[in-house]
Amino acid sequence: MKFFLAALLLTATAHPQQMAITFDDLPNHGEKPPSVTRVEIAQSILETIKLEQLPPVYGFINAAKVQADPITEPVLKAWRDAGQPLGNHTWSHPNLDDITAEAFEAEILKNEPMLKRYMPDQDWHWLRYPFLHEGDTLEKRRAVRVWLVEHHYQTAEVSMDFEDYLWNAPYARCVAKGDTAAIAKLHDSYLATADHYLTVFRTLSKMLYGRDVKYILLMHVGAFDAKMLPELLALYRKQGFSFISLQDAMTDPIYADDPDIGMRGGGAIQELMMEKRKLKFPPNSKPYKELEATCR
Ligand SMILES: [Zn+2]
């Protein structure tokens, strides 16, 4: 019995870090190889979610994409058939830095009929801000936040982000060229960057809150994201993480502490808090130039 308890404690202390996984831009994101369909990309992600036995994974939708390309609508059906929930990412993914609060609110409302259709009995009142832009002025930020509360929305915050989407376009180009060596490099840099930003966001959390938080990872429904998801989850598990739902993650009190600043360009919650408190970021970098040049 003592051994059993000790083993239990060891398990608990070996995996103290927690993270919710979320996907943006359903039904489609970014460039893809012509050999794979949008539904196949979603199915691949959903199969990994099932195999890994993840808690519910929210997919945030832009219904304008379904209207523009009706062939993508089965992505939403597949997501729901797999038992995964959908949330609101606005109708057409506008940049709140460039439009009024009223125009942004209309974008949220215009997206709702599609959510009602696919989530008749479940809670779709979760907003993920496009680009994580939450308002370039404090006045605009506050106006949208008040509107969200009045309309029973919660913000699906982000506290872990390595700009996963950057790899999708170079991957599509490399597949078209049949450049397997370049694809192997994309594989390595994707995982290395995810690992690097795991450290960066944990460092930010310790600077701001003195501890690890219940993290919320931002992902996108891209072709390379689907391909890399099993290895990405393995990396997080190796670093001591287990996976939780968005609702569970949002119980962390850090998400109730609104940064309450206008900030052009936006960011994850720790990035806004760092800006508010005028703290200096630890060194960090992403391979923007390398990715942009890959398979040209
Ligand atoms: Zn998005």
Q: What is the pLDDT of residues 109-129, one digit of tens each?
A: 999 999 999 999 999 999 999
Tell how far the Cα of 154 is from the centroid of ligand 1, in angstroms: 17
Look at residue 12 in the predicted model and tell me its pLDDT.
46
Tell how far the Cα of 218 is from the centroid of ligand 1, in angstroms: 9
pTM: 0.94
Q: Is there a contact between 25 and 226 (Cβ–Cβ < 8 Å)?
A: no
Tell how far the Cα of 96 is from the centroid of ligand 1, in angstroms: 12
Mean pLDDT score of the chain: 95
Half-sphere exposure of 2 (CA within 13 A, CB side): 0
Look at residue 11 in the predicted model and tell me its pLDDT.
47
Look at residue 4 in the predicted model and tell me its pLDDT.
54
H or E element in which residue 247 lies: helix 246-249
| Cα 93 to Cα 69, 88, 98, 191, distances in angstroms | 15, 10, 12, 27
Tell how far the Cα of 183 is from the centroid of ligand 1, in angstroms: 24
Q: Is there a contact between 119 and 61 (Cβ–Cβ < 8 Å)?
A: no
Q: How far is it, in rounded angstroms, from Cα 74 to Cα 97?
A: 32
Tell how far the Cα of 3 is from the centroid of ligand 1, in angstroms: 48
Mark the residues whose beta carbon lies below 5 A from ion ligand 1. Answer: 24-25, 130
**Dihedral pair phi/psi, residue 265, rounded to 5°:** 95, -25
pLDDT-above-90 percentage for the chain: 95
pLDDT at 24 over 90: yes
Structural domains for the chain = 17-293 (3.20.20.370)
Q: How far is it, in rounded angstroms, from Cα 285 to Cα 97?
A: 24
Tell how far the Cα of 178 is from the centroid of ligand 1, in angstroms: 29
Residues in Cβ contact with 26 at an 8 Å cutoff, skipping those fewer than 6 apart = 42, 59, 60, 61, 62, 75, 76, 79, 86, 89, 221
Q: Which residues are bridge partners to 59 per DSSP?
A: 23, 86
pLDDT bin (cut points 50, 70, 90) of residue 221 is: very high
Tell how far the Cα of 156 is from the centroid of ligand 1, in angstroms: 12
pLDDT bin (cut points 50, 70, 90) of residue 6 is: low
Tell how far the Cα of 288 is from the centroid of ligand 1, in angstroms: 19
Tell how far the Cα of 101 is from the centroid of ligand 1, in angstroms: 18
